[in-house]
Amino acid sequence: MKVLVVDDSKAMRMIVIRTLKQAGISNLTTIEANNGVEALAMVADEKPHAILSDWNMPEMKGIDLLKNLRAGGNDVLFGFVTSECSPEVRKEAEDAGAKFFIVKPFTPGAFEAALSPLLA
Amino acid sequence: MTIDQQTLQQVVTDVCSGMLGLEVEPSEKDNAATGDALSAVVKISGGWDSLVQVLAPRKTAKAIASTMFAMNEDELTEAEIRDAVGEIVNMVGGNLKGIVEGDSSLSLPCVGEATGSAPFDENFKGLEISNSCQGDPLIVRVFDRSRCES
């Protein structure tokens, strides 16, 4: 499974990838983007099975990345991993088509709970 | 809900210990913490108008970055150290914003040398907690601008 991890923090990208491995996602391959613009450019060539994105990023926010993908007809499995946790933000994510929402700080269990039903 | 010392401590503990596995516990304020240190700040705007600061002496900042990157401290670049401290304040600020009612927005973190400029100077009048993080000082401050501007 190829997962694109999008976050402007290199430290957080490393932690997310480590946590994905700990959560036991099988045949995991990860690729990384620094923001929504980079991610959008990578999606066509890399064809990830899932995208895990931060919310707040320079250049293009995660929600705008999701909206751009959906507007272009791409229905890749998309979820947020973010410190944003207000009901308003969650609703905006769901309305735009996000399948899961993981709040930082998180544990491997949170990744398992969010991803397992979607990967079964 | 407003943010008090206990809530702030819980959020900092959740971020640093719960997720990163850092040894964090409340401590007496160490004035040396405000010397050669990095300051990471996020601004919360809208329903709750605040600034959140993480103040980490370089030794603490390196210990945090070492854990986050799973690298030895002497292998870390300055950018990686700043990135790590910035992500701590991003998580703390984001969680605090989620606790306070009302629709607010969170800025990207701004990380630099701690200069002691207002409002985060010796006359700071907001909420402050002091912690020991991996044995070194870590200070977290919240400046609620709607309460403190007068």
| Chain segment B116-144, per-residue pLDDT in tens | 776 777 777 889 999 999 889 999 999 98
What's the pLDDT at B88?
97
Give the pair of three-digit tokens for residue A5: 């991890």
Distance in angstroms (rounded) separating the CA atoms of residues A50 and A70: 14
Note whether B40 and B54 are within 8 A (CB): yes
A34 chain-B contacts, CB cut-off 8 A: none
Residue type, B101: E
The CATH code of the domain that includes B35 is 3.40.1550.10
**Distance (Å, rounded) from C-alpha B106 to C-alpha B102?**
13
| Domain extent at residue B13 | 5-117
B40 belongs to a structural domain: yes
Q: What is the pTM of this model?
A: 0.91
Least confident of B22-26, B105-109, B112-116: B112-116
Which positions in chain B touch A11 (Cβ < 8 Å)?
65, 68-69, 80, 83-84, 87
State the pLDDT confidence band at B34, using cuts at 50, 70 and 90: low
The interface predicted TM-score of the complex, written ipTM, equals: 0.88
Probe site for chain B from A34, A80, A86 (most B CB atoms < 10 A): A86
Cross-chain CB nearest to B91 (options A57, A58, A83): A83
In which domain, by residue range, is A24 found?
2-119
Nearest by CB to residue B106, choosing from A15, A56, A58, is A56
